[in-house]
C-alpha cells in the first residue's frame, strides 16, 4: 500500500486525499486549522455567504419600479452579528461535512503543522508533524508528499491589520457592527467583491484602485460595466491611486495615498493580494524549487523537481481558484498512484466574480484576441434587449462570445449579469466540447430567459459567417 502525506486540508489537499483513498492508498492529511482549509473557513465560503446576505438587501432596491410600495433600503436594518454568525456557522458546518467525508473515506486527518524532514533512514520521504493538541512532534514516512498549504493575505508594513479598524478579509466577520464608511484598498477580485457586498448593505464605500479601472485582470468591457454600476449606486472609486499607509485615528482610519491625498473612513479593508504559505516547510533545504514570490514550481501534473514531492493549489500560484486547486490535487494523486491522468488544462476553466452584477468568463480573453494572438470573431450583446432582463429591470449586463473565424468553433465568452456564475455553463460546455456557434444557435432555450441571449449571440455570429 502506498503511503501519502498531504500538508494542507484545503480544496487542493482534501480533494487529493479523496482520490488517493479511492485508489486504496494509506493517506494522512495534516491541516493546521480545520478540514476545508482557508477556502472553507476564511476565504471563499465565508465571503460568498456574506455576499448572500447582501443579495437579500439587493431585493429591496428600486421596488417602486415594479409597482411595489416599500420604504426602500433605509427601512431595512442589517443585524451584523447575526450575519457574521451565519457566515461562521456555515463555514464550520461545511468544514465538518468535509471532515466526515474524509474520515468515511478512510483518511487519517491530523490537526497540526507539518514540514518536510530529513530522511536519515533512507525512506523515500519523511514529514515531521507537530500536532495541535500539544503532543510531541513525530515523523511520518511517505512515498509521496503533496504540499497544499495555500496562501495568506499580503500585509503592507505601513498598513498592518489590527482586527479592529484595519482589517484583512478574514477579520471582517469579527466586527461587532458594520463599518460606517469602509475604505477598500485593492480593486482585484477580492476588493471588488467586498466593496460590492458592503455597498449593497447600504454602507458608504470608497474603493482605492491602483489601476485605471477596477479588476484590471478581467475583461475590460465587463470590469468597466461593473465600475459604472458601482459608481451609479454611490461608490467612490479612486482610480490610479495607491495606498501608501493606513493609520488609526481617534474614531476611524486615514489612508494616505502615494500622491499625498488622505482619505478618512471608519474602517479599512486590505485586499492587496496574498502570499503563498511556503516558508518554514523545509522546501529549500529539501531542494524543492521555489520561484520568485515563494510559489512552489510545478508542472501540469503537479510534480515539483523532487521525485515524489508534488504541490497543488494557491501555494503554486498557477491559478488561485478553488476549482483549479482541487483539480491540481486530484491530478497529483492520479499521477503519483499510476492512474490515467490528463495534464491540467487552464483553457476551459470558468471563473466568476461575485459582485452585483456578477462577471463570469471562460476561454480566450479579449486581450488575446485584440493582440492577434488568437484570431477570433466576436459579438457582445447587451442584456437590455432581452425580454426576461426587461421584466427583471436589468439593464447593465451583457453576453460576449468568441469563435474561430472560419469554423465558428466557440472558444470563449463573458457574461455580466446576476447569477452569471450559472449562465456561463453553456458557454463552458461549448468551449470544452469544441462546439460551433451553429450548434449553440440551434439549441432551443426557454422563452423568456437570460440564457436566450447566449443562443442569440451565437446566432449573430452564425449570420456573420454567412455574409
Ligand atoms: C476572499 C476570497 C474569496 C475567494 N472566493 C473564491 C471563489 O468564489 N471561488 C473560487 O474558486 N476561489 C475563490 N477564492 C480562491 C480560493 O479560496 C483558493 O484558490 C483556495 O482556497 C485554494 O485552495 P488551497 O487548497 O490551495 O489552499 P487553502 O484553502 O488556503 O488551504 C490550505 C490550508 O493549508 C494549511 N496549512 C498551511 N501550512 C500548513 C502546514 N505547514 N501544516 C499544516 N497545514 C498547513 C492552512 O491552514 C490552510 O487551511 C477566494 C479567495 C479569497 C481570498
Ligand atoms: N470569486 C472568486 O473566484 C475569487 C474571489 C477572490 C479571489 N479569487 C482569487 O484570488 C486571486 C487574487 O485576487 P485578489 O483580489 O485577492 O488579489 P490581486 O493580487 O488580484 O489584487 C490585489 C490588487 O491590489 C492592488 N494593490 C496592491 N497594493 C496596493 C496598494 N498599496 N494600494 C492600492 N492597491 C494596491 C494590486 O494592484 C491588485 O490590483 C484572484 O485572481 C482569484 O483567482 C477568486
Q: Where does the pLDDT of residue 464 fall: very low under 50, low under 70, confident under 90, or very high at 90 and above?
A: low
Average pLDDT over residues 13-21: 98
202 lines ligand 1 (CB under 6 A): no
pLDDT of residue 463: 67
Q: Whose CA is nearest to atom 17 of ligand 1?
A: 39
188 lines ligand 2 (CB under 6 A): yes
Distance CA 153, CA 139 (A): 30
pLDDT of residue 73: 73
pLDDT tens by residue, 150-204: 999 999 999 999 999 999 999 999 999 999 999 999 999 999 999 999 999 999 9
How many other CB atoms are found less than 10 A from the CB of residue 258?
12
pLDDT of residue 69: 85
Rg of the chain taking only CA atoms, in angstroms: 24
pLDDT tens by residue, 278-302: 999 999 999 999 999 999 999 999 9
415 alpha carbon – ligand 2 mean position (Å): 20
Contacts of 327 (CB under 8 A, 6+ apart): 15, 344
Distance CA 319, CA 296 (A): 13
Distance CA 440, CA 445 (A): 10
Q: Which of 51, 46, 43, 86 is nearest to 356 (CA)?
A: 51
352 lines ligand 2 (CB under 6 A): yes
Q: Where does the pLDDT of residue 75 fall: very low under 50, low under 70, confident under 90, or very high at 90 and above?
A: confident
pLDDT at 467 over 70: no
333 lines ligand 1 (CB under 6 A): no
39 alpha carbon – ligand 1 mean position (Å): 4
Q: Whose CA is nearest to atom 25 of ligand 2?
A: 186
pLDDT of residue 124: 87
pLDDT at 466 over 60: no
Q: Count Cα neighbours of 343 within 13 Å in the Cβ-side half-sphere.
A: 6
- Pick from 154, 190, 314, 421 the residue to mutate for probing ligand 2's pocket: most ligand atoms within 8 Å of its CB: 190
242 lines ligand 2 (CB under 6 A): yes
241 alpha carbon – ligand 2 mean position (Å): 15
350 lines ligand 2 (CB under 6 A): no
Which CB contacts under 8 angstroms, 24+ apart, belong to 390-398? 391/448, 392/418, 393/62, 393/65, 393/66, 394/357, 394/418, 396/225, 396/228, 396/229, 396/357, 397/225, 397/357, 398/221, 398/222, 398/225
Contacts of 226 (CB under 8 A, 6+ apart): 192, 196, 214, 215, 353, 355, 357, 359, 416
Could you give the strand order of the β-sheet that contains 262-265, starting from the edge strand earlier in sequence?
243-248, 253-257, 262-265
The ligand whose atoms approach the alpha carbon of 146 most closely is 1
Residues 416, 436: contact at Cβ < 8 Å?
no
44 alpha carbon – ligand 1 mean position (Å): 8
Q: Which of 122, 120, 145, 113 is nearest to 296 (CA)?
A: 145
Location of C-alpha cell 456574506: 50
Q: Which of 332, 353, 345, 348 is nearest to 14 (CA)?
A: 332
47 lines ligand 1 (CB under 6 A): yes
193 lines ligand 2 (CB under 6 A): yes
- Pick from 155, 188, 358 the residue to mutate for probing ligand 2's pocket: most ligand atoms within 8 Å of its CB: 188
Distance CA 96, CA 371 (A): 47
User: What's the mean pLDDT when you consider all of the chain?
Assistant: 96
Residues 124, 286: contact at Cβ < 8 Å?
no
Q: Whose CA is nearest to atom 30 of ligand 1?
A: 150
What separation in angstroms does the CA of 184 have from each of 48, 71, 212? 17, 29, 16
Could you give the strand order of the β-sheet that contains 3-7, starting from the edge strand earlier in sequence?
138-142, 125-131, 108-116, 26-31, 3-7, 144-147, 309-311
pTM over 0.90: yes
Dihedral, CA atoms, 55, 61, 65, 69, nearest 10 degrees? 110
Measure the N-to-C terminal CA separation of the chain; round to a whole number of Å: 63
Q: Name the DSSP letter for residue 33.
A: S
Q: Which of 274, 316, 275, 35 is nearest to 169 (CA)?
A: 274
Q: Is the dihedral of CA 99, 105, 110, 114 positive or negative?
A: negative
Distance CA 127, CA 193 (A): 38
pLDDT at 331 over 70: yes
Burial class (CB in 10 A: 0-12, 13-18, 19+), 230: buried
- Pick from 38, 152, 169, 186 the residue to mutate for probing ligand 2's pocket: most ligand atoms within 8 Å of its CB: 186
pLDDT of residue 465: 52
pLDDT tens by residue, 106-123: 999 999 999 999 876 776
Amino acid at each position: 500500500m502506498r503511503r501519502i502525506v498531504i500538508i494542507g486540508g484545503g480544496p487542493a489537499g482534501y480533494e487529493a486525499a479523496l482520490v488517493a483513498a479511492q485508489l486504496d492508498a494509506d493517506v494522512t492529511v495534516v491541516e493546521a486549522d480545520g478540514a476545508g482549509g482557508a477556502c472553507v473557513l476564511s476565504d471563499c465560503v465565508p465571503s460568498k455567504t456574506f455576499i448572500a446576505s447582501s443579495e437579500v438587501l439587493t431585493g429591496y432596491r428600486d421596488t417602486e419600479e415594479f409597482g411595489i410600495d416599500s420604504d426602500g433600503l433605509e427601512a431595512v436594518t442589517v443585524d451584523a452579528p447575526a450575519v457574521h454568525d451565519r457566515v461562521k456557522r456555515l463555514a464550520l458546518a461545511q468544514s465538518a461535512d468535509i471532515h466526515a467525508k474524509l474520515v468515511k473515506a478512510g483518511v487519517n486527518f491530523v490537526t497540526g503543522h507539518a514540514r518536510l524532514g530529513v530522511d536519515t533512514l533512507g525512506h523515500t520521504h519523511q514529514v515531521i508533524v507537530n500536532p495541535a493538541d500539544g503532543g510531541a512532534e513525530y515523523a511520518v514516512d511517505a512515498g509521496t508528499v503533496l504540499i497544499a498549504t495555500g496562501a495568506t493575505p499580503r500585509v503592507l508594513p505601513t498598513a498592518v491589520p489590527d482586527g479592529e479598524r484595519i482589517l484583512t478579509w478574514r477579520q471582517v466577520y469579527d466586527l461587532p457592527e458594520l463599518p460606517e464608511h469602509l475604505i477598500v484598498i485593492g480593486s482585484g477580485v477580492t476588493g471588488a467583491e467586498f466593496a460590492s457586498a458592503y455597498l449593497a448593505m447600504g454602507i458608504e464605500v470608497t474603493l482605492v484602485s491602483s489601476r485605471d479601472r477596477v479588476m484590471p485582470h478581467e475583461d475590460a468591457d465587463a470590469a468597466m460595466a461593473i465600475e459604472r454600476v458601482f459608481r451609479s449606486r454611490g461608490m467612490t472609486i479612486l482610480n490610479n491611486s495607491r495606498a501608501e499607509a493606513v493609520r488609526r485615528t481617534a474614531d476611524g482610519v486615514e489612508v494616505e495615498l502615494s500622491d499625498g491625498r488622505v482619505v478618512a473612513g471608519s474602517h479599512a479593508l486590505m485586499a492587496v493580494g496574498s502570499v503563498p504559505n511556503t516558508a518554514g516547510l523545509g522546501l529549500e533545504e529539501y531542494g524543492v524549487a521555489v520561484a520568485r514570490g515563494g510559489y512552489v514550481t510545478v508542472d501540469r501534473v503537479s510534480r515539483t523537481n523532487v521525485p515524489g514531492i508534488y504541490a497543488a493549489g494557491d501555494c503554486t500560484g498557477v491559478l488561485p481558484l478553488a476549482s483549479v486547486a482541487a483539480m491540481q490535487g486530484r491530478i497529483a494523486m492520479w499521477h503519483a498512484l499510476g492512474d490515467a491522468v490528463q495534464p491540467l488544462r487552464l483553457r476551459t476553466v470558468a471563473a466568476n466574480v461575485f459582485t452585483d452584477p456578477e462577471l463570469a468568463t471562460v476561454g480566450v480573453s479579449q486581450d488575446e484576441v485584440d493582440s492577434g494572438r488568437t484570431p477570433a470573431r466576436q459579438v457582445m450583446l447587451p442584456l437590455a434587449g432581452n425580454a426576461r432582463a426587461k421584466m427583471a429591470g436589468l439593464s447593465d449586463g451583457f453576453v460576449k462570445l468568441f469563435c474561430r473565424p472560419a469554423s465558428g468553433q466557440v472558444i470563449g465568452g463573458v457574461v455580466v449579469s446576476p447569477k452569471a456564475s450559472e449562465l456561463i455553463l453553456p458557454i463552458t460546455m461549448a468551449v470544452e466540447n469544441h462546439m460551433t456557434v451553429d450548434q449553440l444557435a440551434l439549441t432551443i432555450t426557454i422563452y423568456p430567459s437570460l440564457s436566450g441571449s447566449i443562443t442569440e449571440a451565437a446566432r449573430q455570429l452564425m449570420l456573420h459567417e454567412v455574409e
